[in-house]
Structure 1
Amino acid sequence: MPNHESVTPDAYSVIQSLRSVGYNLQSAIADIIDNSITARASEIKIRFHWNMDNSYISIHDNGNGMSENDLRQAMRMGSKNPLDRREKNDLGRFGMGLKTAAFSLCKRLTVKSGYKHDETFIRCWDLDYIKDTNDWTLITHAADNDSSLFLQQHEIKESGTVVLLEKLDRIITSPFNQKAYTEFLKKVESVEKHISMIFHRFLSGPQAVKIYINENEIKPWDPFLTNEVATQELATEQFKFGNTTITISPYILPHHSKITKGTFDRAEGLKGWNAHQGFYVYRNKRLLVAGTWFNMFKKEEPFKLARIMLDISSDLDFDWKIDIKKAAAVPPQEIVHEVEKIAKIAREASYRVYYHRGAKLAVDNTVSSVDYVWEQIYKHGILYHKVNRNHSLLLNFITTLSSEQKRMLNAYLAIVEENTPSNLLSYAVGKQENNEGNSNNSALDTEDAVNHIRDIIYAFRISGYKDDEIVNRLKHMKSFIPYERLFQRLMEETN
């Protein structure tokens, strides 16, 4: 007699359990969109079709599509080993997202996919069919005429995939009256706002993905107001963790008096200003958590202007305890101290902007009595004084300048900052601590530093300095010494 036996899971019981993983409509649709983006789709069309108990939701992308074998595998429960290494653009992990997301909304999931101008293939999970058979039986065609008609409306031209969700028993329930229809429309609106937030970095930029809901293009919601001149971007910090890098970029949003009411209202997002303060955790550019202090601090009014971008790769999924819904993250104990330090700096900056605190400038009715000239930040772990770029006089002056003049001014202010006595002293103290092994060095070659130095090189060159003269002058600026190699490289690249 064998000393082991195979116990096949009860199909219908497992499916019913998977329906209660914890998705809502917004997170479920976002999880399905993850698959489209991983498939390198440039266009994703979502349709919410109301027809009482015959309503449906479809997600149609123009991505790579799947072969018949790939489609069969994608429909399998646990289609990928969670321990396998993921590609850089892969937004999945557990091989369960498509199925669990769909089953949390509906009782029928049908997928049609086309691959490299080849024929299209269909696979369908129907929970009513599984209930009757209590078997893991995957249907290889449209389940009925309605499904077939819906799929025909979504033509796959070269390659792509259509996900069709029917029997929306978790979304629409009887009676199918006007109230139910109104609630349906409200849910569609909430999905649009959620997608605008979760995928905002994919929805913007030169290779932006276009996502539509019922033919209306979704615009990105930028939690950091990066296009606002009064937004402060504090120093970016990078930390090595294993074989990957964690990047943290704090932003301090403008005081409400510095932005329009429309911008202010939009910036409050889905949950309001207070709820959206803190860290925004991104995995491969996809937002997981929109505003958290990781239980380090309470969310309080004076700190609502602090929003911190935190980027991790999929290699850190288990270290950060990423869940199946991709809606939670916890920093590893090894970096909690660094994360907390950055949080404190951002909270202090938010507090100052919120209360308009700062040094008094002058007795002048045209200048706010609380405008401050200098602000404190931490740069590579060293206290650093930076000219307040949001000072009212400076902002008014900048609006009169051309793009080239703005670049020259920024370069000049950077040189002033680097040669301020307090910054030279901080640099000297920081260097001594580094030599004694008491300070944690961060990567110098950040995007912020690169842009900063390019502006300085540009300003010197346009003023008639030759490269050897530029190098000679910079050698005498002690705080630029850590950037010497970066200066040399950028001067060579920009010749």
Structure 2
Amino acid sequence: MTHDWQFDVPTAGSRHLPPDARYMEALSSQGYSFEVAIADLVDNSIDAGAKDVVIHFLRDGDQLVSLLVVDDGKGMDESALDIAMTVGGRRDYAADALGMFGTGLKSASLSHASAVTVVSTTKRTRTAGRRWLMERAVSSFQCDIVDPGYAQTLIDRYDNRRPIEWQGTVVRWDGVKDFPKHGGGGQTDRYLHRTINKLGLHLGLHLHRFLARDNFNITIAVEDVRTGTIYMNFGVEPLDPFGYPVSGHPEYPRALTASVPTVGDVTLKAHVWTAKSNLDEYKAVGSVMDRQGFYFYRHDRLVQAGGWNNFRQPEQHLSLARVAVDLPDRSGDVFRLTVKKAGVNASPEFTSSLEKAIDRWGHSFLDYLATADTVYRDARKRSGTTRRPVLPPGKGLDPAVRETIEDELPIVPYEEPIALRWQKLDNELFFEVDREDRTIILNQHYRAAILGGRRGGLNDAPLIKSLMYMLLHQVFEKEYSGSREKDNLQLWQAILVSAARAELDRVADSD
């Protein structure tokens, strides 16, 4: 029997096929969130030896105009600047560098801005600058040379006023897509409050080991370019995901060793968090299901916060389990970072090694998981209540409320969440239950009165929506309602319609 399958594909020459200029557009569409993009720029500052990094929002009255990331690192000459602005530019990364692929600066910046300008100076060379304009980048690979006079002006702006003194780099974003188009009515202030809070938490978490050092600082500031007024100016605090005051179990943390054939021994530092913690260090990472699992570090930078990487499914009872893993320098195909450095793809070779991982006294990784499970269950028992599992809350409910529900109640795993949304209904109804779509529908007619004139959104009216979820979540656990449940639904309907109409009357009287 003959086989025509070949394991090596024969070739007949080659052809040079350079990327189309539209490659820049694809590069900028990788789904960078705002805070992940900024973190990528701060990584470059750390690689440049920066001790001070300033993230500077510039506004002109109510309008946000630019965002700059400024550092006092070693800076770049023109040659290094050209390499930095080249997509996939080849350069020698230091052994402990956070950069890897040569795309972060460009893809992170152009994901969020229509133009990115980089100006840099060193102790021995004159100031130089380059600019990628997205409009030109997608039609050709022509990178603008920044006028030397302007480049020096931009550097001088941060000279003698932190952080630049003799050397450093400024990355400037213009045409930032996230900035409010119209800043009136307090939109700019609300945007800044929300964005800066989220950015500070992200940087504090993912760079907490650097921020814990005495010689490294990140400052977030807001300045009005017309008046020179500084609206905000504060330092980012480290947020250690293992920073519990007391361990959840006296025998933890423990260092276990997983023997991975391709890369050797990998140390797993297994922690058990304190039960029912309200600390930001515990709650800053997603939901209960998200924050358990592996916390991978590469050169002291947190590159994945939570997740079991196909070793097992997350469960409520393991919400106190966190494992710190410092990735080996030579990871091969066992640990592969995403381009955004926001996750790790671990091969089956690693997950298989976990089942045999032990510490010096013979305690296994599976023993650790069992301990974390027991600590969680015992804490629930001590509280004097055994709460019944519920279907998870979903879209339409504020994320902070969803997180609290998931913290306080066991969640039925692998179930579709219950969504809440506004929709036009008969005015005799305050709500409707859609079992098939697993949705609680609220009557649009009463929305304005409930919001008290405030602008609505996907997650608006958190108080009334939370109450509706708690009132109705059990309805979705059955295929149909019995007579008693139907009577309750009619009762709730009548009372809520009456209350909503009273709210409408109050609004009419105030007008």
Q: TM-score range by the shorter chain?
A: 0.5 to 0.7
1:355 to 364, 377, 381: 377
Structure 1 residues 282 and 291: alpha-carbon distance in aligned structure 2, compared to 1, 3 A threshold: same
Letter in 2 for 1:28: A
Secondary structure of 2:209's counterpart equals coil
Query: Are the counterparts in 2 of residues 31 and 97 from structure 1 also a CA contact under 8 Å?
Result: yes
| Corresponding residue of 2:268 | 248
Structure with the largest fraction of helix:
1
Superposition pairs for residues 220-369 of structure 1, below 5 Å? Answer: 220-225=238-243, 227-228=245-246, 232=250, 233-238=252-257, 239=259, 242=262, 245-256=265-276, 261=278, 263=279, 265-316=280-331, 318-340=333-355, 343-356=365-378
Superposition pairs for residues 368-387 of structure 1, below 5 Å? Answer: none
TM-score by length of 1: 0.63
Query: Are the counterparts in 2 of residues 60 and 161 from structure 1 also a CA contact under 8 Å?
Result: yes
1:104 to 98, 111, 117: 111
1:140 to 145, 148, 153: 145
User: Residues 113-171 of structure 1, C-alpha deviation per residue, up to 9 Å, x if partnerless?
Assistant: 1122532211111123446xx322221215997x8865542223222211111111x21
> Distance between the aligned counterparts of 2:147 and 2:314, measured in 1?
49
> Distance between the aligned counterparts of 1:193 and 1:4, measured in 2?
49
Secondary structure of 1:353's counterpart equals helix
User: Residues 170-225 of structure 1, C-alpha deviation per residue, up to 9 Å, x if partnerless?
Assistant: 212523333641234312211111001101111114x5521111131111111112
Report which stretch shifted further, 179-188 or 320-329.
Answer: 179-188
2:212 to 200, 204, 212: 204
Query: Are the counterparts in 2 of residues 54 and 167 from structure 1 also a CA contact under 8 Å?
Result: no
Structure 1 residues 175 and 24: alpha-carbon distance in aligned structure 2, compared to 1, 3 A threshold: same
Task: Answer yes or no: is 1:40 the counterpart of 2:49.
Answer: yes
Q: Aligned pairs, how many?
A: 346
Letter in 2 for 1:253: W
Query: Are the counterparts in 1 of residues 338 and 345 from structure 2 also a CA contact under 8 Å?
Result: no
TM-score by length of 2: 0.61
Letter in 1 for 2:106: K
| Corresponding residue of 1:492 | none
| Corresponding residue of 1:63 | 73
Displacement, 1:7? 4.3
Displacement, 1:352? 2.2
| Corresponding residue of 2:89 | 79
Structure 1 residues 4 and 296: alpha-carbon distance in aligned structure 2, compared to 1, 3 A threshold: closer
> Distance between the aligned counterparts of 1:47 and 1:346, measured in 2?
44
Secondary structure of 1:176's counterpart equals coil
> Distance between the aligned counterparts of 2:147 and 2:180, measured in 1?
24
> Distance between the aligned counterparts of 2:248 and 2:273, measured in 1?
7
Displacement, 1:40? 1.6
Task: Answer yes or no: is 1:216 the counterpart of 2:231.
Answer: no
Displacement, 1:20? 0.5
Secondary structure of 1:246's counterpart equals strand
User: Residues 353-380 of structure 1, C-alpha deviation per residue, up to 9 Å, x if partnerless?
Assistant: 22338xxxxxxxxx999xxxxxxxxxxx
Secondary structure of 2:330's counterpart equals helix
Query: Are the counterparts in 1 of residues 72 and 167 from structure 2 also a CA contact under 8 Å?
Result: yes
> Distance between the aligned counterparts of 1:321 and 1:163, measured in 2?
28
Secondary structure of 2:254's counterpart equals coil
Structure 1 residues 340 and 38: alpha-carbon distance in aligned structure 2, compared to 1, 3 A threshold: farther
Structure 1 residues 266 and 243: alpha-carbon distance in aligned structure 2, compared to 1, 3 A threshold: closer
| Corresponding residue of 2:194 | 186
Secondary structure of 1:201's counterpart equals helix
Unaligned segments of structure 1, at least 5 residues: 358-366, 370-495
Structure 1 residues 142 and 271: alpha-carbon distance in aligned structure 2, compared to 1, 3 A threshold: farther
> Distance between the aligned counterparts of 1:22 and 1:348, measured in 2?
37
Query: Are the counterparts in 1 of residues 247 and 273 from structure 2 also a CA contact under 8 Å?
Result: no
Letter in 2 for 1:324: V
Query: Are the counterparts in 2 of residues 54 and 166 from structure 1 also a CA contact under 8 Å?
Result: no
Letter in 2 for 1:298: Q
Letter in 1 for 2:336: K
Secondary structure of 1:10's counterpart equals coil
> Distance between the aligned counterparts of 2:292 and 2:98, measured in 1?
25
> Distance between the aligned counterparts of 2:263 and 2:377, measured in 1?
41
User: Residues 255-304 of structure 1, C-alpha deviation per residue, up to 9 Å, x if partnerless?
Assistant: 33xx6x5x3x5421142444211110111111111111113323222211
Report which stretch shifted further, 119-128 or 266-275.
Answer: 266-275
Structure 1 residues 241 and 30: alpha-carbon distance in aligned structure 2, compared to 1, 3 A threshold: farther
Displacement, 1:61? 1.2
Letter in 2 for 1:80: R
> Distance between the aligned counterparts of 2:39 and 2:302, measured in 1?
10
Identity %: 26
Displacement, 1:62? 1.3
Task: Answer yes or no: is 1:162 the counterpart of 2:167.
Answer: no
User: Residues 429-466 of structure 1, C-alpha deviation per residue, up to 9 Å, x if partnerless?
Assistant: xxxxxxxxxxxxxxxxxxxxxxxxxxxxxxxxxxxxxx
Query: Are the counterparts in 1 of residues 37 and 109 from structure 2 also a CA contact under 8 Å?
Result: yes
> Distance between the aligned counterparts of 2:264 and 2:74, measured in 1?
28
